[in-house]
Amino acid sequence: MLKSALGAGLLNFPWAFQKAGGVTTAVAVEMVSLVFLISGLVILGYASSVSRQKTYQDVVREVCGQAVGQLCEVCFCFNLFMICVAFLVVVQDQLEKLCISLYETVTGSSEGEMPYHWYTDQRFALFIMCLIIILPLSIPKEIGIQKYTSVLGTLAATYLCVAVIVKYYLMDSHTVIITPEHSQGSVWALLTAANHIHSASPGVFGFMTFGRAVASDILMSYPGNDVVMIISRLLFGISIITIYPIILLLGRSVILNLMLRIQRRRWGIVTPSFESRCRVVLTVIWITITLLIAMFVPDMGEVISVIGGISAFFIFIFPVFTMQTETVTPRISLRLTAVVGLQQVWRMSSGNGTRRKVKMQQFNDVVASDPETQTEIQGLFSKVRTYVKPSNGEWRIPDPNTALRHTVEERCRLQALKVSLNDVKNQLSDMNVQVWHQHTNSTNRAGKVIAVVRSAVNAEICTQAWCKFYEILGTFNLLPDEALQSGELNTVHLCEAPGAFIAALNHYIKTSESTRYCDWSWAANTLNPYHEANGGSTTIADDRLIANTLPWWFFGSDNTGNIMIQKHLLELKAFVSNMRRVDLVTADGSFDCQENPDEQEALVASLHYCEVTAALLLLSPSGSFVLKMFTLYEHSVCLLYLLNCCFHSVNVFKPATSKAGNSEVYVVCLNYDGKEAVRPLLSKLIRNYGPHLADREALFPNKLVPESFLKQHDEVCSYFHTLQVETITENLRLFEGMSTEQRQRLDHIRDCTAHEYLQRFQVSFLPRGRWVSRNTVSPACCSVSGGRPLGQRKQTGSFNERRELQTLTWRERIERGFHATWIQRHRTEAGGTGCVLEGPLSEYHVDSWYVIVGAALPALRNSPFCEGGLLNHLNEALMDTGKDWTRAPCCDSCHVVCTASILSSVAGVCDFKGDSDGNRKRRQCMVFGSRAVWGACESQIEDLVLIFSAEPSFPQRGCDTLHDGEPLYQQQLLGCVVFSLQTLNSGDALLLPLFSALTRVTAAVVLCLHVCFRSVTFRYPPPSGVVGTVLVCVGFRAEAAARILPVLTDVHNCMSQLLKEVEGKSESSGWDRQVLQFVPMEELLTGGLTEFLWTMNSEIIQQKLHLLMQS
């Protein structure tokens, strides 16, 4: 680009000198501008080294943030667009001169005698040139030949410099007017464009040749029959034609990347055909518009003025933004401030960045002083054992016919290790788990790594899992060379919630030299935290990453995300089929085994088998696989042997950031042989795939596992057994008492380990704008309660105390639990009045709503709109009592909201504006409920006309733990809403009884009411005869309802159709499928809806538990 643009800019230099007011003024201004330009480059150079970005717009985006980065991209794109216009104007001018010179040479006539024909018009010739030459050169995705043809720009520039100087000295006389005509007001914008492309000699001699008569294109000032300048015109014409596609490519890439980001955010993938269509359309539009402007704005000076003004942003404004935003140490800040002082007298601010640099410096000063400490720290990062395959090739995949046919045979030595380890762990059974965790955290050598990484490098979702995976990435060559060389990396992450592996990989890719420019695509799977049937003990409720990246997460057609279902595995294979190859699969799955720690390996065995099967199915040849495992004494033996047969290298690794007292290890498998070798066995594994894959027969009989492998495996198990036993023993010893010297030594080692982690793995700072998540959606886990993750029960007491707690009744567990006081208190006043959804909601996207139909919910075990511990208490109570709580008598000590107060509050906020005669306008209030309950107060509310309709029927007996998830109840509830939206007039009100809003469907119903009404609140405890709560909706907006009614009608019809499918079936068969969601989770988690539902559901559950406790 520079080679060709250099010459094109020289054409305008003499004209810029004329606009500046002469040679002296122009050269002076140019020298001052040079200072500005150099100082800006110094600032940008420093910002580039800190942000580790290599392009102008990337530096600005990285340092100044997304908003300034987008402004820079707009200016960058517009500047390139106008440069393209300038190029076409230059070509058009040269075509005109060439046409005239050819006419004069061939006919011998003068320019004034030249007849006009449309086909001789330079604009027609320019159109043909764009159509035949420029368009075909510009459409390809990559333009490589221009790096050779662009040398014509250098040749043209050199030729022009010599020609202009020679022409000046060959002139007969130098009597042109060169006195100033213009003030310096517009000098800066004009010379800014010139400064981009250097060299004052053509400007000086060109201006002195023609003076104030110089044209904006210097070649237009020379006669058309001048052979020397005809050659120059040809050189410039060819060079500009070849450089135009490069300029177009740069500008198009900015717009195209934006379109692809939007497409990927909306649909999850970007197909090659979509990219190709967008590229062609953008190219045609770009060339068409620049061609039209070049035809109808023929004055080169006007175009150059625009380019110069925009270019000023790149010299003056963005570098200063960069300096103001980039964080620097005081010393460098002083130097750069001196440079900027030459440019503008603006104050520089170091801000928080200085503190961050100081923190980094403090950790850099921590060095292990004695050899013993150094050895201990190095040992933390060296806990790895690698299997070595024998050269005779005896480690081969056994005959598939022998797989899954023989009973499990235990190896005596490994069982002895298991018994030994359990004996040591049993010493912890009476330890209070919270006290013990606090102690082991303080003795954990790598305990400070997470805090240091979080503060020093701005890691996204900086958890222990993040640090462990970054350590794995820094220890092994996990990313295949083939992927890095091709610049395309595709990864799949199983059992990934909350997404720390993805965040760590993103950090590694964005900050490492070898991967920074990789085109990375990823897909992930985990148990869906929004699926109401997923249990709290197996589902991670932390959705910080999931909520903002939902299109990249695969939950299967049943929407559960359960990787242990065969259909789900095959659907996942289809989901990632758009990836050309899969280079890396990670599997970080586990269950909560703290209630049965002795059998952790057996509990997770089937999950590990499913994860390995999925990896072997998904991975491409030479790919890598990372699997979290625990002890390797039983089912894991055959699994490790299988992995050794399928991969060139298998390593068992205990990261330094993995707590040394647990059994967790990571199996790192490198260089996959491919599916062909394992295909017969893989087919059998898929046929037997499921949650009981490892519960029955052994994967292989012991006799088919070579003794050479078993010997190595025994050594691996012994090594990690020793490490774990030594750590637990040390922690027990230190728990009894720790001297001041021991405490100081431990703290020193912890500081040195954190320093070693940063240095060893070269962890660099990553700005928030480069994170995976843009944080546009508030995750359910942090929407309320000050960011406390929801749905997770912390372990309390000792192991033996927790086992005793399991033998208690549900009442006794509540009385001993955290919620006891809150559940048992009596309600003394009405609730819900202060919790209001102010509407109507305007930020919703009904066009993007879609229906998810999945397996019918057997029970509600989880909800993003309720605290998990409360829901567990309620489910236990309902299952243990076997009572119909809806018929339980009211508590005499609790306040009950009367219907009169609800109707009075509705009348108090309704709009009764009168007509032109001053008469008050009456409003309707649709009440779903019994006239016997609500009608007694009707005469007391003069301006409110009550319309009664049947309320939804409560969930059937036997569906207690379904709550509002029963399909029939949801269908009737939505039917009530549809009916009310069709019936009400603007300004009317609605009273709707609600059982609860724990499911996504019911939450979406509340959102729809939020869209259609000015305010939505609830009243609790509800009037006698009403179960759950009453939604009070005031200020109906008919125009808003009209937008969503078609969608709600379709959803209601879908629900009705699904209910018809079960008609005629036996009562025991129940529902097979139901609507699980019809509003995207991104919208359900936006605004104040989550907190509203959280508060309402908590009050409803408290009421239910309170009545059950009283009964």
Task: Catalogue the active-site residues.
Answer: 628
Positive or negative, the Cα torsion across 477, 478, 481, 485? negative
Based on its alpha-carbon atoms, the radius of gyration of the chain, rounded to whole angstroms, reads 37
Nearest to 41 by CA among 334, 340, 338, 327: 340
Is 588 marked as a binding-site residue? yes
- CB neighbours (10 Å) of residue 49? 10
Long-range pairs, 874-882, Cβ under 8 A, ≥24? 874/1101, 874/1104, 874/1105, 875/961, 876/810, 876/813, 877/810, 877/811, 877/814, 877/1104, 877/1105, 877/1108, 878/960, 878/961, 878/1108, 879/960, 879/961, 880/809, 880/810, 881/810, 881/1108, 881/1111
CA distance linking residue 474 with residue 653, whole number of Å: 12
Distances (CA, A) of 433 to 439, 447, 595, 801, 1101: 10, 18, 12, 10, 29
Amino acid identity for residue 732 in this structure: L
- 3-state SS class at 786: helix
CA distance linking residue 206 with residue 473, whole number of Å: 60
Is 211 marked as a binding-site residue? no
Beta bridge partners of 445: none
CA distance linking residue 1052 with residue 332, whole number of Å: 65
CA distance linking residue 476 with residue 386, whole number of Å: 12
Amino acid identity for residue 265 in this structure: R
The alpha carbon of residue 340 and the mean position of all alpha carbons in its chain are separated, in whole angstroms, by 36
CA distance linking residue 608 with residue 614, whole number of Å: 10
Distances (CA, A) of 278 to 79, 84, 687, 848: 21, 20, 42, 22
Angle subtended at Cα 160 by Cα 159 and Cα 164, rounded to the nearest 5 degrees:
120
Tokens 């190709």 correspond to 276
Length of the chain: 1111
Tokens of 976: 């009530």
Crossing angle of helices 66-107 and 227-267, in 10° steps, is 150
CA distance linking residue 1097 with residue 1095, whole number of Å: 6
Q: What are phi and psi of 34, to 5 degrees?
A: -65, -40
Nearest to 704 by CA among 638, 631, 784: 638
The alpha carbon of residue 328 and the mean position of all alpha carbons in its chain are separated, in whole angstroms, by 28
Amino acid identity for residue 933 in this structure: V
The answer to whether the CB of 38 falls within 8 A of the CB of 270 is no
In the 3-class helix/strand/coil scheme, how is 744-771 assigned residue by residue? HHHHHHHHHHHHHHHHHHCCCCCCHHHC
CA distance linking residue 718 with residue 711, whole number of Å: 11
Is 885 marked as a binding-site residue? no
CA distance linking residue 245 with residue 150, whole number of Å: 11
Side by side, the strands of the sheet bearing 584-587 are: 384-386, 647-653, 665-672, 624-629, 584-587, 488-494, 519-525, 553-554
CA distance linking residue 160 with residue 198, whole number of Å: 14
- 3-state SS class at 864: coil
| DSSP notation for 365-387 | T----SHHHHHHHHHHTT-EEE-
CA distance linking residue 192 with residue 183, whole number of Å: 16
**Known binding-site residue numbers for S-adenosyl-L-methionine:** 499, 520, 588
